[in-house]
Amino acid sequence: MDSPTLSQALRAGTRDAHIRAERMPFVQRILRKTVVRADYAAYLRSLAEVYKALEERLGGASEWLKALHPRELYRTLALEADLQVLDPKAVAEPVAVAAAAARRIRELPETHVLAQAYVRYLGDLSGGQALAPLVEDALDLRDGAGSAFYRFPGIDPRAFKASYREGLDRLPLDPHQEREVVEAAVRAFQEHESIFRALEEGAEARTREGPPS
C-alpha cells in the first residue's frame, strides 16, 4: 500500500484530537447556542492572541510557507472588528494558556508553524463555517456585525481546502519531517483543548458570580 500523503496523515493523525475538541464543554456552548457575550468575547480575545502570533510568523515566513497561506486567510483584523462590536470597552481578557500558546508559536520552527496554521485555518474553513449562524443567533448579532471571523471574502472554502491539501502534498518533506508536522498538529489541538478548558472555567465562574450589578 502507498504511504499516506501529508494531508491524509494530518487528517488521520488528528482525528481523535478533533473528536475530543468537538466535545469540549465550551465548544458545546457554541453549538447549543448557550454561549453569552462575556464568554464569547473571552474566546475571541484568546483566539486573537493565537492568530496574531501565527500571522506574524506567516507574514515573515519562507516563500513555501507564505505561498500556502494567502492574506485573505488571516483572521487578526476580523477578530479585532468582532471585538469592537462585542466588547468595545475591552473588558474581556484572553485566557493565560492562549497567551502561552502565542508565545510558543513565535519560537516554533516553520514545519510546526505549518501545523498550527493547518489546525486553525482548515478548522475555520470546515466546521467553523457552520458556527456563524449559531453564534449570530445566540448573541443576537445582525448584518454580519460581530461574526466577521467566520467570513473569508475572496475564498471559496471547499476549493481552497482542496488546493491547500494539494499544496501540502507537494511540499518536499521527508517522512521524518512529515511525522513531525503531524505531531505538531496534535500538539496544536492539545493547546486548543487547554484554551477551551480555561474558557469553560471562566464561563462557569462568571455564571456563579452572576451578572454585574
Classify residue 171 as left (phi > 0), alpha (psi -120 to 50) or beta.
Answer: beta
Closer to ligand HEM by CB, 57 or 187: give it.
187
Residue 105 lies near ligand HEM (rule: CB under 6 A)? no
Cα 50 from chain centroid (whole Å): 8
User: How large is the angle between the packed helices 6-13 and 15-23, nearest 10 degrees?
Assistant: 40
State the DSSP string of 102-157. Answer: HHHHTT--HHHHHHHHIIIIIHHTTTHHHHHHHHHHHHT--TTTT-GGG--TT--H
User: Which one among 69, 116, 192, 200 touches ligand HEM, defined by CB under 6 A?
Assistant: 192
Query: Does 123 help bind ligand HEM (rule: CB under 6 A)?
Result: yes
The single residue among 44, 73, 117, 119 that binds ligand HEM, judged by CB under 6 A, is 119
CB of 59 to ligand HEM, least distance (A): 21
Q: To the nearest whole angstrom, how small is the minimum distance from the Cβ of residue 10 to ligand HEM?
A: 5
Question: Does residue 161 bind ligand HEM (CB under 6 A)?
Answer: yes
Indicate the DSSP class of residue 2: P
Nearer to ligand HEM, 77 or 130 (CB): 130
Q: Which is nearer to ligand HEM, 10 or 83 (CB)?
A: 10
Nearest in space to 202 (alpha carbons), one of 42, 91, 19: 42
Residue 21 or 78 having the CB closest to ligand HEM: 21
Q: How many CA atoms lie within 13 A of 80 on its CB side?
A: 5
Report, in Å, the least distance between residue 97 CB and ligand HEM: 13
Which residues between 15 and 74 bind ligand HEM (CB under 6 A)? 18, 21-22, 27, 31
Query: Nearer to ligand HEM by C-beta: 75 or 192?
Result: 192
Residue 115 contacts residue 184 (beta carbons within 8 Å): yes
Q: Closer to ligand HEM by CB, 84 or 163: give it.
A: 163
| Measured CA distances, 139 to 39, 144, 212 (Å) | 11, 12, 18
- Site residues, ligand HEM (CB under 6 A): 10-11, 18, 21-22, 27, 31, 118-119, 122-123, 126-127, 131, 161, 189, 192
